[in-house]
Amino acid sequence: LGDRMQKRTGTLEEKLRWAFQLCLSRPPMPAELQVLSRLYEQMQKSYPAAPMKGVALVLLNMEAFSTRE
């Protein structure tokens, strides 16, 4: 998922919205999008080679992803 997010064209917000929708079958609320944006910024500082992979791991590890109906 992280590689797909990185390769996808568009702004960071568009990429985050797309990945959230893909994982949870709903668009993110503004607060959720803000959290993901901040996470991306933190990951970019800590893991500059692959910040999207860190964001993808968080999305895939969310309880809502694993218990989706």
Whole-number pLDDT of residue 13: 97
Quick one: pLDDT at residue 28?
Answer: 96
- Exposed, middle or buried by CB within 10 Å (0-12, 13-18, 19+), for 16? buried
pTM, rounded to two decimals: 0.88
- Is the pLDDT confidence value at 68 over 70? no
Quote the pLDDT of residue 41. 96
Q: Give the model's pLDDT for residue 44.
A: 95
Per-residue confidence band for 66, with pLDDT thresholds at 50, 70 and 90: low
| Amino acid letter for position 11 | T
Scan for tokens 């860190």, then name that residue. 54
Q: 18-52 as b/e, with b when 16 or more CB fall inside 10 Å?
A: ebbeebeeeebeeebbeebeebbeebbeeeeeebb
Q: Are 12 and 51 in contact (CB under 8 A)?
A: no
